[in-house]
Amino acid sequence: MDLHYSDEDLAFRDQVRAFLDSHLPKDLQAKVLQHLRLDKDDFVRWHRILARQGWVAPAWPREFGGPGWTALQRHIFEEECARAGTPRIMPFGIDMVAPVIMAFGSQEQKARLLPRILSCEDWWCQGYSEPGAGSDLASVKTTAVRHLDADGEHYIVNGQKTWTTLAQHADMIFCLVRTDASVRKQEGISFLLIDMHAPGVTVRPIIMLDEDHEVNEVFFDNVRVPAANLVGEENRGWTYAKYLLGHERTGIAAVGRSKRELGLLKRLARREHKNGRPLLEDPLFAAKVAALEIELMALDMTVLRVLAQAGKAPGPEASVLKVRGTDIQQMLTELMLEAAGPMALPFDAAYLEGEQEHSVAGDDAAAPLASYYFNYRKTSIYGGSNEIQRGIISQMILGL
Ligand SMILES: Cc1cc2nc3c(=O)[nH]c(=O)nc-3n(C[C@H](O)[C@H](O)[C@H](O)COP(=O)(O)OP(=O)(O)OC[C@H]3O[C@@H](n4cnc5c(N)ncnc54)[C@H](O)[C@@H]3O)c2cc1C
């Protein structure tokens, strides 16, 4: 693998930079760089700007509306977006359900759903987890029973999903449902696409300690779903579910964002003082920052190696990216909190929501850091907890 950027790669990077300079709205950029909360309109606005440019789905093949970039170009694009401080593109449609539809969906599903994902006409959410099925995902109990009546074939869905991220905005949910309870649990699951506006779907918010509404419970009460919304074959959903998880975990590594946050950490640590000199020059603190930077560089190389396997769906190596990526993200938030010290203590929801220009703490950079730190505890849980990923690595990569 050649890790040096060619002249073409550098020209591509300049093209991306120029586009971001001219098209990333300053108000969105400010929210991202200051760790303020983004709302649905913010995400949709940025999604549509990228969609108009043809850049919103970097990993999609050209035939479905992708830009036809190489793995390295995709990496450069992600790095530049992170560096500039763009809102993230919600992964549920573009990076999760779309690859499954492309690989296993019917022609009709591809034609109907993929353009709506590209244009953000449909906001998707992920209906995997249930109260009794998190790490043990194959234990899903939500049932889908097939019926045939005068209106055609459909499923009747009953059950509950939980921790459904941003389901309050969603138009569609991709769900793992039980279609056969009489066989080994992995063999009785199907992958079903459900309209969130259908009668019988209820979204109940789970409000976090910091008053943020990020996750939900979703209930299905006799929801009627057309059989045309089954992806692939009935009872083969477990295979599709695992394929999707590989894509989810690669995205969670977020190296570009961590590089940007490392820059912020260094700026904070230069500004704060300890024993009369900048914190960044304190040997103990500097050693922690250096160790983190080395980890991040190693992860960057690992991501490039995984991406270099062009055309292959990510396998168990995605678990390595997930574990290391989220460890690094959490360490970054810890060190930022340490650098900001007591300035990060006051909790100011109005400032985080953008309702007030400056924080009551008097330090706008430090004010969101405690909330940011606590929010990032989730990264080692979602997408399959890191303990589970370590189990996958030990079995499937190390052969233990
Ligand atoms: C903020 C957030 C957003 C989420 N968003 C979504 C979403 O949009 N859609 C969705 O479907 N899900 C979502 N999830 C759910 C997430 O995928 C699950 O929380 C995760 O898979 C863990 O499952 P659990 O919470 O049931 O924990 P459990 O499975 O009950 O695990 C509890 C603890 O035991 C450990 N453990 C369990 N089994 C083992 C084992 N075999 N070996 C070692 N350790 C083990 C776990 O690692 C964990 O530390 C989200 C979760 C969070 C926190």
Rounded to the nearest angstrom, the gap between the alpha carbon of residue 8 and the centroid of all alpha carbons in its chain is 29
Question: pLDDT tens digits for 97-112?
Answer: 999 999 999 999 999 9
Q: What is the pLDDT of residue 304?
A: 81
Cα–Cα distance, 297 to 201 (Å, whole number): 45
Give me ligand 1 centre to Cα 129, in Å: 8
3-state secondary structure of 171: coil
Beta bridge partners of 347: none
Nearest to 142 by CA among 248, 227, 223, 48: 223
152: CB partners within 8 A, 6+ apart: 226, 227
Give me ligand 1 centre to Cα 255, in Å: 22
Cα–Cα distance, 76 to 81 (Å, whole number): 9
Respond yes or no: is residue 248 known to be catalytic. Answer: yes
Q: What is the pLDDT of residue 251?
A: 65
Nearest to 120 by CA among 171, 76, 62, 193: 171
The two tokens of residue 134 are 């998190």
Cα–Cα distance, 97 to 348 (Å, whole number): 36
Question: Which ranges of the chain have pLDDT less than 50?
Answer: none
Rg value, the chain, Cα: 22
Supply the DSSP symbol for 133: B
Q: Which atom of ligand 1 has the smallest separation from the CA of 131? A: 26
Q: Which atom of ligand 1 has the smallest separation from the CA of 161? A: 11
Give me ligand 1 centre to Cα 388, in Å: 9
What residues does ligand 1 touch, defined as CB less than 6 Å away?
A: 125-129, 134-135, 163-165, 215, 378, 381-382, 384-385, 387-388, 391
Question: pLDDT tens digits for 47-81?
Answer: 999 999 999 999 999 999 999 998 889 889 999 99
Q: Which atom of ligand 1 has the smallest separation from the CA of 166? A: 8
Give me ligand 1 centre to Cα 126, in Å: 14
pTM: predicted TM-score of the whole model, two decimal places: 0.94
Cα–Cα distance, 348 to 140 (Å, whole number): 39
Q: What is the pLDDT of residue 308?
A: 72
Say which of 78, 234, 248, 261 is annotated catalytic: 248
Q: What is the pLDDT of residue 2?
A: 59
